Copies of this chain bind each other. A is one copy, B any other.
Amino acid sequence: MAGDASATPPTAEMASANLTSPPERRRREFISSIIGRGTAADDLVGRRVRVGGWVKTGREQGKGAFAFLELNDGSCLANLQVIVDSSVYPLDQLVHTGTSVLVEGELKKPPEGVKQRVELRVDRVLEVGSADPSTYPLPKTRLTLEFLRDYVHLRPRTNTISAIARIRDELAYATHTFFRENGFRYVHTPIITTSDCEGAGEMFQVTTLFSDAEKLDKELQNNPPPSESEIEAAKLLVKEKGDDVAHLKSLKASEGEISASVLKLTKAKESLSKLEERFNLKPGIPQKDGKVDYSRDFFGRQAFLTVSGQLQVETHACALGNVYTFGPTFRAEHSHTSRHLAEFWMIEPEIAFGDLEDDMYYAEEYVKFLCRWLLEHCLEDMEFMVKNYDKSAIDRLKLVSSEPFKRISYTEAVELLCAVTDKKFENKVEWGVDLASEHERYLTEVIFKRPVIVYNYPKEIKAFYMRLNDDQKTVAAMDVLVPKVGELIGGSQREERYDALVERITDAGLPLEPYDWYLELRKFGTVKHSGFGLGFERMILFATGLDNIRDVIPFPRYPGRADL
């Protein structure tokens, strides 16, 4: 049975009732710290350690005299070889894939010819959590990534998904470190927003109207609203009480009598108004003038999940200087491709007093920093990716971290692509039309064979907040294109001139009022500023060489699917 942690009696220090720390309470050590690259084998041999993890593979040997377990604890890709004698624990309870164990023992030098630098000879099995091989969904055999998407709660136990999780963690920390080292402050932009960044994107709505309606329905069932005749009766009572007051006044009755009568009238009126209020309660979603009445929603207006924190983070760039946001963003697109998620993470720095060149500078430095970081901190996991998914993954990181990015204008890019004769593109290339993914990849993979920054795009194909160039035709936008994924970063210098911004918003057919606050940043102490956005999952696809974005986020959300 599962959960048989009591198979061995708990030792004194493991008993949760005993909450005073014993003098020699031993914590488990990470397998990464035992077999990580940094540790010399000679320092390890003879050390006593406690480790916990999950059995990747196990087998009984020597006619059941002992068992070899390949133990993984998620701290690194490599397993620790663990040897347990049958005198220590019933071996058949340990050897099945997926079984968890917490064990103690001494590190030994393995026999000559064995690839492991060190192995653990166990003398205490402290805890065991079984995994019935007949029902455990992740057997030893190789499983497809597609299959694993149905097991998001268990898939981090596989080599691929745990390697991605570590790469993801490293890229997140590298991000914070890069921006901190460059004087950027981290700002939490809102997740629930009443602004729409580009006046376009498909947004998720955030609401309590359904649950409020449900509550009201229940309430009305438990406590039905008054009938019309009850209302009529209450109205009649108000009239009577009013008449009483008038009558007493006409009789010049005593003040005491009159005020007692007025009190009764007031109560009757209150009672009527309460009844009328309940009488007017309508089940279902509140409506006004034939439309949903959002003034009754939680925030008193329509609210959405953010599609970008850029506009909001600009408020802090125009106060704190360089800032960045790193948070979840959302698109309610019914898109089933391997490149789109409904929920994904984005990094958006904003550079105060920065122009397009500063923007390109930081974008290049940031991507290079991430690539170097993975080479320095994640080589084992990257080697796994090279071996199993993408032979060129490490070479790509090296290329991007060392080669200066090529910078060309959009106009130059279009000219280059129009001159291409060795390839037929599916999409036409023509000045004024956005580059398609095939064009972007051709520029970076074939023409320049390194990352390319394309800048100064036609204003018609870019967002209203991008700064209009002096040619009046292009805006100071830039995209960073990299091999394997194409566009990795999109950014721009922002329009900091009040009048120019008003014109751009109006030209885009957007109303000005929702952007009042955004315009005020330009009205009061405006500064040049620029920024960009990097899709975090896209960066992981670029780094690992994986193809499907659903495999590089722990809990993928897409149309029809939001497990857990």
Taking a contact as CB atoms under 8 Å apart, the answer to whether A312 and B555 are in contact is yes
Taking a contact as CB atoms under 8 Å apart, the answer to whether B154 and A169 are in contact is no
Whether, in the assembled complex, A355 has its beta carbon less than 8 Å from a beta carbon of chain B, the answer is yes
Whether, in the assembled complex, A235 has its beta carbon less than 8 Å from a beta carbon of chain B, the answer is no
Taking a contact as CB atoms under 8 Å apart, the answer to whether B190 and A564 are in contact is yes
Whether, in the assembled complex, A124 has its beta carbon less than 8 Å from a beta carbon of chain B, the answer is no
Whether, in the assembled complex, A249 has its beta carbon less than 8 Å from a beta carbon of chain B, the answer is no
Known contacts being A180-B173, A332-B298, is A3 close to B75, with CB within 8 Å?
no
Q: Which of B5, B100, B523, B559 touches A299 (beta carbons < 8 Å)? A: B559
Taking a contact as CB atoms under 8 Å apart, the answer to whether A353 and B520 are in contact is no
Contacts A/B (CB < 8 Å), 16 sampled: A2-B522, A16-B493, A17-B471, A27-B358, A52-B353, A74-B319, A102-B527, A127-B527, A153-B521, A191-B305, A194-B562, A204-B206, A207-B207, A285-B285, A312-B554, A316-B554
Q: Which of B186, B303, B358 touches A562 (beta carbons < 8 Å)? A: B303
Chain B residues with CB under 8 A of A342: 192, 298-299
Whether, in the assembled complex, A130 has its beta carbon less than 8 Å from a beta carbon of chain B, the answer is yes
Chain B residues with CB under 8 A of A560: 298-300
1/0 per position for A153-196, CB-CB distance to B under 8 A?
Answer: 11011000010011011001100100010010111111111110
Chain B residues with CB under 8 A of A157: 318-319, 525
Interface range on chain A (Cβ under 8 Å from partner):
35 or more
Taking a contact as CB atoms under 8 Å apart, the answer to whether A14 and B205 are in contact is no
Nearest opposing residue in chain B for A32, CB measure: B183
Chain B residues with CB under 8 A of A202: 208, 211
Stretch with Cβ within 8 A of B (4 or more), from A220-228, A422-430, A443-451, A494-502: A494-502
Stretch with Cβ within 8 A of B (4 or more), from A84-92, A113-121, A320-328, A480-488: A320-328
Known contacts being A2-B526, A102-B527, A497-B3, is A152 close to B319, with CB within 8 Å?
no
Chain B residues with CB under 8 A of A497: 3, 5
Q: Which of B136, B353, B469, B499 touches A28 (beta carbons < 8 Å)? A: B353
Chain B residues with CB under 8 A of A98: 524-525
1/0 per position for A80-124, CB-CB distance to B under 8 A?
Answer: 000000000000000000111010000000000000000000000
Taking a contact as CB atoms under 8 Å apart, the answer to whether B524 and A136 are in contact is yes
Chain B residues with CB under 8 A of A470: 17
Taking a contact as CB atoms under 8 Å apart, the answer to whether A169 and B190 are in contact is no
Q: Which of B153, B319, B528, B564 touches A54 (beta carbons < 8 Å)? A: B319
Question: Given known contacts A3-B499, A55-B525, A153-B521, what 7 new A-B pairs fall within 8 Å (CB)?
Answer: A16-B355, A98-B524, A100-B318, A130-B525, A132-B524, A157-B318, A192-B204
Known contacts being A74-B321, A455-B19, is A187 close to B169, with CB within 8 Å?
yes
Whether, in the assembled complex, A66 has its beta carbon less than 8 Å from a beta carbon of chain B, the answer is no
